[in-house]
Amino acid sequence: MKASARIARRFSVRSGPREPNPVRQARAPRALPTLHRSEGIRIVSRLLTYASALAVTACGSGSAPGMPVGTPPVIPPAITAQPANQSVPMGLSATFAVTATGSSPQFQWTKDGATIVGATGSTYRTPATAFADSGAAFAVTVSNAAGSVTSTAAMLSVTARAPMAGDLRFQQVDAPYIVNGSGNAGVALSTFLLGRMAESFAPSIGTPFYVGSNGNCSAPPVTDGTGCAWAFSEFPYAATAADLVAAGYASDLYDSFQTDLQSGAWPGFSNGLSPASPASVITSLDLEPASVLFGLSWVQSAQQTGFLMQQNTVPPADLQAAVTQEGVAGRVITALSNNNSQTTYLSYAWLADTATLYEARAVFTPTAGAAAAAATLAEQGYILTATGQADSSGNLVLVGTRVQGDSLPRPFVAAQGSLQVTAMQQQGYAPVGVIVDLTQTDPYTYLGER
C-alpha cells in the first residue's frame, strides 16, 4: 500500500464519523430520577454559582483587590536612560531625552526646578540658546496613576557663538548636518586632485586642501601641467532638502586663474557646480606659478546664495592689517596662498548678513607648530577660516575669524588616525584644516572645531 494511501486512511479513520454501535443502541435508556421542586432549585442555584466563578477566573484572574474585573494592573514608571549633559554653540538648540517604562507614562520637564510649559514629551528641545543658559539644569518627572519618578539633572553648556545658519564662510562649523554628529552616511574618501583635473561630491563635507611641510608640487618644478597633486578628504552625509551641500575641487593652468575665477562655466561639470557661483565659497587655494598650475576647493549650497568674492594680493608683512580691514568691513577670508613671495587671499561678504562685523588674526607658523597655533586661535574664540602655504619652505599661514567681542573659547580637537577622526565627526566637529608633517610617525592631523 502506498504511504499516501496509508496516511489518508489513517486520517479518515480518526476524523470520520463513527459507525453506529448496535449493542449500545439496543441498550434500554436509564430512567431519570424524579426531583422535588426544592431540590431542582438548589441544583440550578449551584450551577449558576459555579458558572459565575468560572467567569471571574477566566476574565479577571490576577486582578488586584478592588479593581474592576478585567482591568490590568498599572505598572509604576521607571527611568531606564537618564537625560545626558549637552553642549551646544550659542544660538543653537539643545535636545534632552529620557527613556522610561511603565503604564501610559506622562512627562514634565523642568529647568532649574521650574516647570517648562508645554514640555510634556520624552524629549525636550530648547529654544535658541544664549550665554545666560550655560549651567542650567534640566530634569524630567515621569508619572502615572501608580506613582512618579524624577530623573537626575542634565547640565547645559553653551559654547562660543555659532555662525548664522547657511553661512558657508566658516568652513561649515556648526552646520546642522555636522554639529549633531556626522560621518555615518557612507565611506569617506581621501585622495589627490591632479593638475588640470576636477572632482565634485554631493552631498559631502569636504576638507580644504591639506597643507604642510612638503608642499603640493614636485621639485624641481615640472611645467607640463602634471607636476602638482593636492590632497583632500570628503565625507558623505545624510542630507535633507534644507541642507544639501556639495564639495568641489578643481585645477587649471596658472595663467587661467583670473579667467576661471570669474567663469560660471568652469570647470565644466554637467551638474553646473562652479566656484564662481554666488552660492559658492572657495575654501582653499594654492597658486603654483613655477609649476604653471593652481588648485582650489569650494563648497556650494543648493539653498543659500549671495556670497560675493573679492581677491587681493599683499606682502606677507601686511597680511594682518589686511585681514583686520576685511573683518571690519564684514568680510571673511576663506582661502589664501603664497604667490611669488606675496600673499593672495580671497574674502567674502554675504548678502544675508551685512550687519555682523568681525575680528581676524593671521598667524605664520612652521608646519610642526600649526596644530598648536590653531588651538590657540580657538582658545581665543576664533574659527579657523583659512589655511595655506606661506612659502616654498614648509611654513604655513592660518587665518582665524570671530564676531567682534566674541572671545569665548571654542571647542577644538586635533585628531590623528581613523578612530580619532571618526570620534571628531561623531562629536560634531567640522574639519577646518588638515596639516601634513612628514617628520611625524603619523603625519596627518585633522583640525576640528565647533
Please give the biggest Cα pair distance in the chain: 128
Preceding amide of 443 cis, omega within 30:
no
**pLDDT for 59 beyond 60:** no
Q: Cα–Cα distance between 223 and 218 in angstroms, integer?
A: 10
**pLDDT for 51 beyond 60:** no
**What mean pLDDT is reported for the chain?**
87
Q: Which pLDDT band holds residue 69 (cuts at 50, 70, 90)? A: low
C-alpha distances in Å from residue 88, one per residue of 3, 99, 155, 236, 420: 75, 22, 11, 23, 21
Tens of pLDDT along 281-309? Answer: 999 999 999 999 999 999 999 999 999 99
C-alpha distances in Å from residue 364, one per residue of 98, 233, 347, 400, 427: 47, 24, 18, 12, 29
Question: Which letter, b or e, does each residue of 280-298 get, where b requires 16 or more Cβ atoms within 10 Å of its Cβ?
Answer: bbbbbbbbbebbbbbbbbb
Q: Which pLDDT band holds residue 418 (cuts at 50, 70, 90)? A: very high
State what percent of residues in the chain have pLDDT above 70.
Answer: 84
pLDDT of residue 54: 39
Which of 183-197, 255-269, 365-379 has the weakest average pLDDT? 183-197
Q: Cα–Cα distance between 358 and 323 in angstroms, integer?
A: 10
Name the CATH superfamily housing domain 78-161. Answer: Immunoglobulins (2.60.40.10)
CA distance from start to end of the chain: 82
Q: Which pLDDT band holds residue 135 (cuts at 50, 70, 90)? A: very high
pLDDT of residue 71: 80
Which of 25-34, 154-163, 242-251 has the weakest average pLDDT? 25-34
Q: What are the extents of the domains in the chain?
A: 78-161, 168-449
Mean pLDDT for 311-324 is 98
CA-based nearest residue to 90, from 138, 157, 159, 155: 159
Mean pLDDT for 47-61 is 43
Q: Cα–Cα distance between 297 and 316 in angstroms, integer?
A: 22
Mean pLDDT for 80-107 is 95
More confident residue, 441 or 20: 441
Which three cell numbers mark 294? 593652481
Place of cell 568681525: 358
| Strands, E assignment, 276-409 | 280-288, 293-301, 307-314, 332-339, 342-350, 358-366, 383-389, 395-403
Q: Cα–Cα distance between 436 and 370 in angstroms, integer?
A: 10
Which three cell numbers mark 358? 568681525
Residue 44: φ, ψ to 5°: -60, -40
pTM recorded for the entire structure = 0.79
